[in-house]
Amino acid sequence: MHSKDGSAETSAASRVQDFQIFGEFGEVNPSISDGSTFTFLDPEKLKAIFHEPIPGCHLYSRLENPSTRVLGQALACLEGTPSARATASGMAAIATTLLALCEQGSVIVSDRLVYGGTHALLRNLFPRYGITTRFVDCMDPDAVRQALEEGAVRVLYCESLTNPLLRSPDLALLADLAHARGARFVVDNTFAPMIFAPRQQGADIVIHSLTKFINGMSDCVAGVICADQAFIDELSDASSGTCMLFGPTLDSVRAAAIYKNLHTLPVRLVQHGRNARMWAERLVECGLEVRYPGLPGYPDRAIFERQADPRMGFGGMLTMDAGEEGRAQALMVALQEVKVGFLAVSLGYYRTLFSHPGGSTSSEIPESERLATGLAPGLVRFSVGLDFEIERSWERFEKCLHKAGLIV
Ligand SMILES: *Cc1c(COP(=O)(O)O)cnc(C)c1O
């Protein structure tokens, strides 16, 4: 992969591997912080930290403690940003970031197809605080340019690999458009950690839901904001920071667990990608309508290849159009019965998860908008698992396709 200026990049996986913090007694893992508050020997220092961060010093765990700080530092390595702040969920990361960048009267320009929760936040909740959103198709640079032109646009927002349609917007181009209008470019990289490095393409702030691939265990909810030190300090400000004052705090035991899981991400990602690609190819051979970035017919292939680290594969997500909702449901029930995976929202788990976005994770988006963007009523989204014998899982999958009447 190459950065915008053409220089070769160290892989995100290697940057994370080189990040090394020992425990208090030399343990191979960092110590787990066990305090809500921290003692100070010098009252003047306690006074000073309220006004300015002091390196190596912690104040109160609502903002940060050694465990959440270590996780943040490791994720800053992953995204190649100077700093990062771990949060209690992906939505907490998105909401606190956007509220820090906007004020009453601000406008956000957002891709029209984003995660359902993000869409609902922008469409339903933010207008109550005077922050409005213009939804555009981020695959259409002219539409984005036009939307950026009117009013007090503070933020251009998109996902690097969109949920659930797996489109891949041109991040470098969008960064240029945003910066030309003085807006910040915020990218949700949840679907493609280590595959895309939006910061290298010009994004100002990169967000993840750690709940998905990065943690990979579907055992907790967490998020991260990766950005410049100045922005992270702004979030942390004791008198006006959105992280400090809304308190979207990640527990230190969870932070330590996620930190350890992060280190197996590259291996998991390659296996997710290998399995997803195999299923995608087989489904195409069955004559089904499939979208997967590793398929020759993927519409954004050129952009994807320009932005992605080829060592990381094409990711674990694929979609298939079952034609109608009833068929989608019949297929998912059959797949669950034969233990191919679970009918559940979310992604990045070691087992395969499948869901019907139209009736679940994208149901917050109005139906007319879903249809206009190509989110078909029979669309099934797969997060393909780490199955060791993927051929065995495919044999079961194929039987389910017969059973649901999708192949004869
Ligand atoms: C799940 C998800 C989120 C929200 O993350 P939570 O951890 O559930 O709060 C945001 N963006 C995308 C793309 C997601 O898939």
Mean pLDDT score, 106-110: 98
CB 174 within 8 A of CB 100: no
Q: Which of 89, 212, 381 to mutate to test the pocket of ligand 1 (most atoms within 8 A of CB)?
A: 212
Q: Give the pair of three-digit tokens for residue 126.
A: 């933010």
What distance in Å separates the CA atoms of residue 71 and residue 255, rounded to the nearest whole number? 6
- How many CA atoms lie within 13 Å of 373's alpha carbon, on the beta-carbon side? 26
Task: Enumerate the β-bridge partners of residue 2.
Answer: 8
Q: What angle do CA 4, 93, 362 make, to 5 degrees?
A: 90
Q: Is the CB of 300 under 6 A from ligand 1?
A: no
Write down the pLDDT at residue 55: 86
Kind and range of the H or E run holding 380: strand 379-383
Q: Residue 6: is its pLDDT beyond 50? A: no
Tell me what the mean pLDDT of segment 186-198 comes to.
98
Establish whether residue 221 lines the binding site of ligand 1, counting it when its CB lies within 6 angstroms of any ligand atom: yes
Q: Could you tell me the distance, in angstroms and rounded to a whole number, from the CA of residue 225 to the centre of ligand 1?
A: 13
- The reply to whether ligand 1 has any atom less than 6 angstroms from the CB of 159 is yes
Confidence of residue 363 (pLDDT cuts 50, 70, 90): confident
Indicate if 350 belongs to the active site: no
- What's the confidence (pLDDT) of residue 398? 97
Check pLDDT > 80 for residue 70: yes
Residue 62 annotated among the catalytic residues of the structure: yes
Q: What is the mean pLDDT of residues 386-393?
A: 98
4 has a pLDDT exceeding 70:
no
Helix H or strand E segment including 372: helix 367-372
In ligand 1, which atom is closest to the CA atom of 191?
Answer: 13
Residue nearest to atom 6 of ligand 1 (CA): 90
pLDDT tens-digit map of 238-297: 899 999 999 999 999 999 999 999 999 999 999 999 999 999 999 999 999 999 999 999
3-state secondary structure of 349: coil
Handedness of CA 66, 67, 70, 72 (dihedral sign): negative
Closest protein CA for atom 7 of ligand 1: 90
Q: Helix or strand or coil: residue 299?
A: coil
Contact 363, 116 (CB under 8 A): yes
Please report which residue ranges of 103-238 form alpha helices under DSSP H.
Answer: 116-120, 141-149, 171-180, 229-236
Q: What is the pLDDT of residues 28-67, one digit of tens each?
A: 999 999 999 999 999 999 999 988 888 889 999 998 999 9
How distant, in Å, are the alpha carbons of 46, 187, 232, 246 from that of 53? 10, 26, 11, 18
Mean pLDDT of the chain: 95
The answer to whether the CB of 22 falls within 8 A of the CB of 30 is: yes
Average pLDDT over residues 108-124: 96
Nearest CA, atom 2, ligand 1: 209
Q: Taking 60 as the threshold, does the pLDDT of residue 5 lie above it? A: no
**Of the residues 85, 111, 115, 204, which is catalytic?**
115
Tell me the average pLDDT across 15-38.
Answer: 96
Interval between CA 406 and ligand 1 midpoint (Å): 30
Mean pLDDT value across residues 362-382? 84
374: tokens are 């190509």
- Is the CB of 321 inside a 6 Å radius of any atom of ligand 1? no
2 confidence band (pLDDT: 50, 70, 90):
very low
With 90 as the cut, is the pLDDT of residue 361 above it? no
When pLDDT is cut at 50, 70 and 90, the band that residue 375 belongs to is confident
Report how far ligand 1's centroid is from the alpha carbon of 91 (Å).
6
Q: What's the confidence (pLDDT) of residue 130? A: 98
Going by C-alpha positions, the residue among 13, 62, 49 that lies closest to residue 248 is 62
Which pLDDT score is estimated for 8? Answer: 53
Q: Are 158 and 122 in contact (CB under 8 A)?
A: no
Choice among 111, 188, 237, 300 that is catalytic: 188
Domain ranges within the chain, ordered by starting residue: 12-262, 265-403
Same fold flag, 12-262 and 265-403: no
Nearest protein Cα to ligand 1, atom 12: 115
Number of C-beta neighbours around residue 149 at 10 A: 10
Token reading at 115: 């995660």
> H-helix or E-strand containing 327?
helix 325-337
Q: Quote the distance between the C-alpha of residue 222 and its chain's center.
A: 11
The residue type found at 63 is: L
pLDDT digits over 200-255, tens only?
Answer: 999 999 999 999 999 999 999 999 999 999 999 999 998 999 999 999 999 999 99
Q: How many CA atoms lie within 13 A of 296 on its CB side?
A: 3
Torsion from C-alpha of 140, 141, 146, 152, nearest 10 degrees: 110
**Quick one: how far is CA 399 from the chain centroid?**
33
Task: Confirm if 190 and 324 have CB atoms less than 8 A apart.
Answer: no
- Could you say which architecture CATH assigns to the domain 265-403? Alpha-Beta Complex (3.90)
Alpha-carbon separation of residue 160 from 80, 214, 302, 393 (angstroms) = 16, 15, 14, 29
Length of the chain in residues, anyone? 408
- Give residue 154's pLDDT band: very low, low, confident or very high (50, 70, 90): very high
- Greater confidence, 299 or 9? 299
Q: Is there a catalytic annotation at residue 351? A: no
Q: What is the pLDDT of residue 7?
A: 46
CATH label, 12-262, candidates 3.40.50.970, 3.40.50.150, 3.40.640.10, 1.10.10.60: 3.40.640.10
Reply yes or no on whether 115 is catalytic. Answer: yes
With a 6 A CB cut-off, is 223 part of the ligand 1 pocket?
Answer: yes
